[in-house]
Amino acid sequence: MSASRSLDGQTALITGSTSGIGLQFAKGLAESGANIVLNGLGDEAEIEKTRAELASECGVEVRYHPANMLEPDEIAYMVAFAKSEFGRLDILVCNAGIQHVEKIEDFPKEKWDAIIAINLSSAFHAIKHAMPVMKAQGRGRIVNLASVHGLISSPFKSAYVAAKHGMVGLTKTVAQEGGEFGVTCNAICPGYVKTPLVEAQIPDQAKSRGISEEEVVEKVFLADTFTKKFTDYDQLVGLLRYLVSDAGASTTGVAIPVDGGWLTH
């Protein structure tokens, strides 16, 4: 997706940006001129390759911080790192997330704890440390990755649905506290996007529901959409660019579906 350099000189920190949606967000913001702090798990050499390519292709500075989203202290260091590397922090995207699909009676408590920590509490910790920096700048843009599952439920996703609903609530409170300081906070709520996280769910969903993998895509993932299509990365990047722009200054505290009409049912 082509972009103007409207974010030249800004700094963007994107959690969980070594894969999937987060990586595309990092690319989208880098193409618009922002310096980037990547974060996420993965092979060290692969991450370094991604970092170097992003920097050279987009003509921006790109750093990587390995903070584990299960560890509040590491998240605090990551935010401080972004500020100290670039002298400012303009954009925080809380995107890291994991999934586990199982009936509630069989749902492992370790999975519940990890999903709440990574998909919800990590955003709290990152925002807690980013907010003072953004308030002092008199401007900031916080974008939380929720999901349609921040607004409705699906079976076998108790922890994910709880965490994403929490993310929508957190978004509203942060927007309220940041508003008069020029800090906006919004939640993006995608329908299904074909990322490693979604690909990995197909066999689990087939098992939990007793249907084939093709039926999972047709009857579970896309059944309620008007478009009968997965949401694309570009459609999410387009919304992110709007939310972080000056034109997005009055859009705050909202949870925006990008779901092919799913929630309109």
| H-run or E-run covering 39 | strand 35-39
**Active-site entry in 64, 160, 192, 233:** 160
Q: Which is nearer to ligand NAD, 110 or 246 (CB)?
A: 110
Q: Which is nearer to ligand NAD, 79 or 98 (CB)?
A: 98
CB of 9 to ligand NAD, least distance (A): 26
Q: Which is nearer to ligand NAD, 19 or 184 (CB)?
A: 19
CA distance linking residue 168 with residue 163, whole number of Å: 9
CB of 75 to ligand NAD, least distance (A): 9
- Torsion, Cα of 102, 150, 265, 22 (10° steps): -90
Provide the 3-class DSSP secondary structure of residue 94.
strand
CB of 39 to ligand NAD, least distance (A): 6
CA distance linking residue 16 with residue 1, whole number of Å: 21
CB of 258 to ligand NAD, least distance (A): 9
Q: Which is nearer to ligand NAD, 10 or 39 (CB)?
A: 39
Binding residues vs ligand NAD (CB under 6 A): 16-22, 40-42, 68-70, 95-98, 118-119, 145, 147, 190, 192-193, 195-198
CA distance linking residue 82 with residue 34, whole number of Å: 12
160 is catalytic: yes
Positions annotated as catalytic residues are 160
